[in-house]
Structure 1
Amino acid sequence: MRNRIIIAAFLLFSGSTVYRILTGDASWAVTTRGGDPSQVTLKIWAGNAAPIDHWRTDSAVDAARTLNRQLEEEGSGVRVTIDAINDPASWGNYKKKFLMAADSHLAPDIICTGHEDIASWASAGLIVPLADTVAEMRAKDPAFADVREDLWESTMFRGKIWGVPQDSEARVLFYSKPLLAKMGWTPARMKTLERGIQDGSFTTDDMIALAEKAVASGVVPRGRGYWHRPTRGSDHIQKYYAFGGRIDDPETGRLVADQQSLTRWFTFQRRIVDAGITPENYLGTEWGIWHNTVSHGKALFWEGGIWNWSSWGSKYAADLGGEAYLHKSVGYAMPPAGSKGGTPATLVHPLVYLVPKAKASGQMQQKLALRLLALMTTPEINTRHALDSSHLAILKSQLDYAPYKENTFLYGISKLGGKSFFQPNHVRFSQWFDIVMGAMEEAQSGRRSPSQAAADAIALMRIDVGEDNLVFR
C-alpha cells in the first residue's frame, strides 16, 4: 500500500541541499528528492506486511498531520511529502531490497524491521545511532520516555540506542477449552493450569503427559496433542530457553554454546513425536493447514505468536464466530518451563524503526525523521496497530488507555507475568541461529539423535560463529 500526504514542515538542514560525500574512491550526491529545496519527501518502509499491519506505515501519515500543525505554528513554509510503503514481500526479500537501495543511496528515511538487523546494519554503517544511553533517548521527547523500559534493550548495540520500538508481541501456549472439557476439566481447573505454569509446578513434562492422555482417550487423534510452529523460526528458541539455554552472555557480549541445554531441547523435540502428540514429519506443514487445525480446536495444545489471534478471528475461524468463538474456546498461558520450579519465559521480537544514514538514503533528513518518529509513538497510534494486528502495548501509558484495556485478549497477555527475552543484537547471531535450527530439525526428524545433533551444532559453531564470539557452557 502506498500513501502520500503533503504537509507543511520545517527544513531541518541548512545551506545547499546538495552535499558531496566521499566514500572510498567513489563520490555521490546527497540531494533533496525532486531537486526543489522547498519540497522534502520522507520515505518510510515496512516489510512482511499483511493488510492488518498497515499502521506500521500509515502511522507516519497520521503523525505527519500533527507535525504539520506544529510546524505551521513555528512559521515554517516548507512542504514535505510522506511516502509510505507497506511492502508484502517476505522478510528476506524485503531486507534484500533495503540493502540494494542502500547500496544505490536510495534507502528510505525510516525503515521498520526486526531489531536483530541492528547489529549488521550498524556495523555496515547504514543506520544512525539515535542516542548514547536510554536516559538520553528518553530525554529527547516525552513520547520516548513513555516506551516500556525493557524494549529499549532490544534497540541497543555497542552501548548505543539505534532504533525506536514499533511493536511488541509474545509467543504463548494456547489450549482448546472444549477438548480439555471432554477430559473432565472445569473452567476453574483450567485456571489452575495457567497458575501452575506461572509457579513452575506445571512443566513441559506435564503438558506432554496430558496430551498423551488426550490421544489415548480418543479426545484427539494421534499427532494432535501438541503443535508448535511448523517451520523454522525464533519461536523454537523458547524451548531452548525453557531447558536452561541462553543465547548470549551479558558479561562478555558473546553468544553461548551450551551443549547440555541444546541436548535437552532436542530431546524434547523428538520426544513429542515419539509420544504421538506431534506428527512424524511435522516440520514443513503448510501454514494454512496449521492455522485451520489450531483455530478450529483440532489440537489440544499449540504454541504460537499472539499476532495470529487477529487472523484466526477474521479469516480462519470466521465461520465459527470469529473472535467471539476464540474467547469462548481458546485459552492461553505462558509456555511452561522445562523443569519443576522453573520460570516460564516467552521470546519477544520487537519491530523497530531505524533511521538510515545519508550514505544509504542519499538524504540529510535524519533529524526530521526522528521528530516524526516521536509523533508516531503515542498511545492512540500504537493502540490502533495493537488492536488491528494483535500486538502488545509498547508504551507504559497504553496499559491505562481505555481502548487497550478493553481488549481482554491483549490486556490479559500483558498481565501474564513470567520472563521475556530477546534475540541478541550480535553480528554472528544469524549463523548461530541457522546452526541450531538445522540441528533441531535433524533431531526432531530422527535423522540424528538429540545428543549427536547438539554435538554437531557446537562443532559448527566453532567454525561458522567463531570461538572468539562464543562462551562455552
Structure 2
Amino acid sequence: MNHWNSGTAAALLSAILMGGSAAVFTTMPAYAQETVKLELWSRQDPSGPLRAGNVVKAAERLNKELEAEGSPKRVEVAVRESPAKGFDDDALQLLKVFGIDQGPDMFIAAHEWVCAFQEDGFLLKLDDYIAKYPQHFGTIFPSLWSSAKCPDGTYAIPQDAEARMFFYNKKLLREAGYDDAFVDALPERALSGDLTMDELIDIAKQVVDKTKAKYGILHRPNKGPDYIMAFNAYGNDFVDPASGNLLLERDKLAAAFGWFERAVKEGVIPANNTAMEFDALRKEFYTGNAAFWMYGIWDLGSVAFPTYGLPKDEKGFFADWGWIAGPAAAKGGSPVSLTHPIVYAISASTKEPELAVRLLGHASAADLNTDHAVTTTHIGIKPEQLEDPRYAEAWPLAKATELLKITKFLPNNAQFGELNGIIYAAIQGIESGRLSADDAAEFVIDEASASLEDVVVK
C-alpha cells in the first residue's frame, strides 16, 4: 500500500463518505475517569442495523463490568458509516483507509475479506483472546469459526449466519407418484448422505414428466453463492489450505459442471434459467410450477410468506413444502449447505485490543444476537439462542440452524468474487448448450489463470 499525506487521507475519507452519513453513537458512563474511544466502521445497511447497534449496546455492558472491576476506564463507541452499496465495495474502500493509516479500531465485513486485511498486517490475531474469554466465545458454533480463519489463525468473530438449501414442493412430488413416506424422508436422507445429486435430477424429471409443472430445478439467475453448493458437493472447496490461495481442481470442476449439464439435458433445469428474472423464478416455484428451488432460508420470511401466501405456521408449511440440504455427489457421501457469515474484526494497531475484544464479546451475547437474527431472518451464532422464545417462534431459523453442522463457506480470499463471476459464465455456457462440462472446467481454469493472481491448478 502507498502511504499518502494527511491531505490525501482527508480527501479520501471525504470521498468515501460523500453521499452517505457518518453517524456517531456514544455510550457514556455517568462518570468516566478515563474515556477510551473505539471507532467501528460499518456499512450503512438497513437489512442489518444491529450489526453496529449491538456493539453500541455492548459498551453499556462492558462499562458496568469495568466499573465492578474498579477500572478507571470507560468505553465510548463511535460508529462511522460507509455508504458503500455492498460488502465488496465497502471492503475495498476500507482497505484504502487502512493503507493511509486511518483505519478504525474495529469493523464489520463479509467473511471472505478477512484474509485480505490480514495479509496486509491490518488485523489483530484473536486465537489467544478467544481462549481467554470462553464466556463470550466458547459456545459459538464451531463450524462458524472456519469462516474467520486465515492459514495461520483466527482473525475475526462470526456475527451471524445464513443457510442455503433446496426448497421443494411436496404436492408436486405426490402428484408425480411419490408416496408420503418417500416425500417426508427426503430431508433425513439428504443429511445422512443417502440422497444424491443425480437422484435429485431423477425426482425433478419425474415431476416434469408426470405433472403440469414446467420446471424441475430452478436456481438464481445471476452471480451469487447459492449454486456453489453444487460445486461443494463434488469436492470443490476452491481454497488451498496450505497457502490460502484459490484452488481449481479440473476433475472436480468438471464433475460439478456435469451435474448442471445432465439436469439441462433431462429437461430439469431450463436452458434459459440464467436469462430469467429473479422474481419470475420465485413466482414459478412458489405458485407450484417447479419442484425444487435452490436458494436461502431468508426467502421464506421476505417473499414466500408475505408475497405468495405460503403458510406461516410450521405445521402448515411442512404439510406441503419443505427443504433439504444439498445432497451428496455419491451415496454415502457428505451433504452440503452454504452460509455466508458477516464478521467483526479488530485492527492490529488499535491501542486497546483487550477492550475491543471484550466489547465484541459482549456484542456477541445470545440475547443481542437474537435481536438481530429475528428482525433480519439470519441464523444465530450460538446454540443457546435456540432456547430463546423469540428464536423458537421464528421457526424457519430454528429449523435451519441444524444445517450449520454441515455448512460450507466461500474461500476467505478477496479474489473469489471474480472467480465466481467466471464460474457463473461457465454455467451460462453449459445451460445454453455452448459448453460441455469438460469445456466449462477448462474455461474456468484458463480465465482464472489469466486474470487472477496465485491460482493453484490441479
**Would you call these one fold, judging by a TM-score over 0.5?**
yes
Report the 3-state secondary structure (helix = DSSP H, G, I; strand = E; otherwise coil) of the residue aligned with 2:136: helix
CA–CA distance in structure 1, aligned partners of residues 376 and 111 of structure 2 = 19
Q: Is the 8 A contact 1:295 1:312 kept in 2?
A: no
Shift of 1:374: 0.7
CA–CA distance in structure 1, aligned partners of residues 111 and 404 of structure 2 = 23
1:470 aligns with 2:456: yes
Q: How does 1:266-415 map to 2 (within 5 A)?
A: 266-312=257-303, 315-317=306-308, 319=309, 322=312, 326-358=317-349, 364-415=351-402
1:443–1:87 CA distance, 2 compared to 1 (3 A): same
1:314–1:202 CA distance, 2 compared to 1 (3 A): closer
Any unmatched runs of 5+ in structure 2? 1-20
1:330–1:320 CA distance, 2 compared to 1 (3 A): closer
CA–CA distance in structure 1, aligned partners of residues 283 and 81 of structure 2 = 30
Report the 3-state secondary structure (helix = DSSP H, G, I; strand = E; otherwise coil) of the residue aligned with 1:336: coil
Shift of 1:464: 4.1
CA–CA distance in structure 2, aligned partners of residues 86 and 178 of structure 1 = 46
Query: Residue type of the partner of 1:298?
Result: N
Match of 2:185 in 1: 192
Q: Deviations over 1:31-80 (max 9, x none)?
A: xxxxxx85735334146x343x2221221222122223334443647572
Match of residue 157, structure 1, among 150, 163, 167: 150
Q: Deviations over 1:394-451 (max 9, x none)?
A: 1243344454345432232233587322233246545544443333332232222221
Shift of 1:162: 0.7
Match of 2:14 in 1: none
Match of 1:436 in 2: 423
Match of residue 179, structure 1, among 160, 165, 172: 172
1:70 aligns with 2:70: no
1:118 aligns with 2:114: yes
Q: How does 1:91-240 map to 2 (within 5 A)?
A: 91-131=87-127, 136-221=129-214, 224-240=215-231
Q: Is the 8 A contact 2:168 2:323 kept in 1?
A: yes
RMSD: 3.2
Q: Is the 8 A contact 2:236 2:249 kept in 1?
A: yes
Any unmatched runs of 5+ in structure 1? 13-36
Q: Is the 8 A contact 1:174 1:304 kept in 2?
A: yes
CA–CA distance in structure 2, aligned partners of residues 290 and 228 of structure 1 = 8
1:218–1:253 CA distance, 2 compared to 1 (3 A): same
1:8 aligns with 2:29: yes
Report the 3-state secondary structure (helix = DSSP H, G, I; strand = E; otherwise coil) of the residue aligned with 1:42: strand
Shift of 1:301: 0.5
Count of equivalent residues: 435
CA–CA distance in structure 1, aligned partners of residues 326 and 180 of structure 2 = 19
CA–CA distance in structure 2, aligned partners of residues 444 and 234 of structure 1 = 18
Report the 3-state secondary structure (helix = DSSP H, G, I; strand = E; otherwise coil) of the residue aligned with 1:267: helix
CA–CA distance in structure 1, aligned partners of residues 96 and 404 of structure 2 = 41
1:442–1:42 CA distance, 2 compared to 1 (3 A): same
Shift of 1:113: 1.5
Report the 3-state secondary structure (helix = DSSP H, G, I; strand = E; otherwise coil) of the residue aligned with 1:339: coil
Shift of 1:340: 2.5
Match of residue 262, structure 1, among 242, 246, 253: 253
Report the 3-state secondary structure (helix = DSSP H, G, I; strand = E; otherwise coil) of the residue aligned with 2:290: coil
Report the 3-state secondary structure (helix = DSSP H, G, I; strand = E; otherwise coil) of the residue aligned with 1:247: coil
Give me the TM-score of the superposition, normalised by structure 1. 0.80
Q: Is the 8 A contact 1:113 1:353 kept in 2?
A: yes
Structure 1 stretch 319-328 or stretch 168-177: which is displaced more? Answer: 319-328
Match of residue 243, structure 1, among 219, 223, 234: 234
Q: Deviations over 1:187-237 (max 9, x none)?
A: 43322222322333322222212222222223312xx21111221122222
Q: Is the 8 A contact 2:245 2:455 kept in 1?
A: yes
1:45 aligns with 2:42: yes
Report the 3-state secondary structure (helix = DSSP H, G, I; strand = E; otherwise coil) of the residue aligned with 1:331: strand
Query: Residue type of the partner of 2:56?
Result: V
Q: Is the 8 A contact 2:301 2:377 kept in 1?
A: yes
Q: Is the 8 A contact 1:3 1:58 kept in 2?
A: no
Report the 3-state secondary structure (helix = DSSP H, G, I; strand = E; otherwise coil) of the residue aligned with 2:28: strand
Q: Deviations over 1:270-292 (max 9, x none)?
A: 33233222222221533333334
Structure 1 moving runs of 4+ over 6 Å: 9-12
Q: Is the 8 A contact 2:426 2:443 kept in 1?
A: yes
Q: Deviations over 1:240-292 (max 9, x none)?
A: 12223342343565543321221121122233233222222221533333334
1:433–1:270 CA distance, 2 compared to 1 (3 A): same
Structure 1 stretch 339-348 or stretch 425-434: which is displaced more? Answer: 425-434
1:79–1:166 CA distance, 2 compared to 1 (3 A): closer
Structure 1 stretch 455-464 or stretch 294-303: which is displaced more? Answer: 455-464
Query: Residue type of the partner of 1:243?
Result: Y
Match of 1:90 in 2: 86
Shift of 1:181: 3.4
Report the 3-state secondary structure (helix = DSSP H, G, I; strand = E; otherwise coil) of the residue aligned with 1:344: coil
Structure 1 stretch 385-394 or stretch 421-430: which is displaced more? Answer: 421-430
Match of 2:9 in 1: none
Query: Residue type of the partner of 2:164?
Result: R
Report the 3-state secondary structure (helix = DSSP H, G, I; strand = E; otherwise coil) of the residue aligned with 2:79: strand
Shift of 1:125: 2.8
Q: Deviations over 1:147-186 (max 9, x none)?
A: 2222222212131221011012221111012322333445
Q: Is the 8 A contact 1:40 1:80 kept in 2?
A: yes
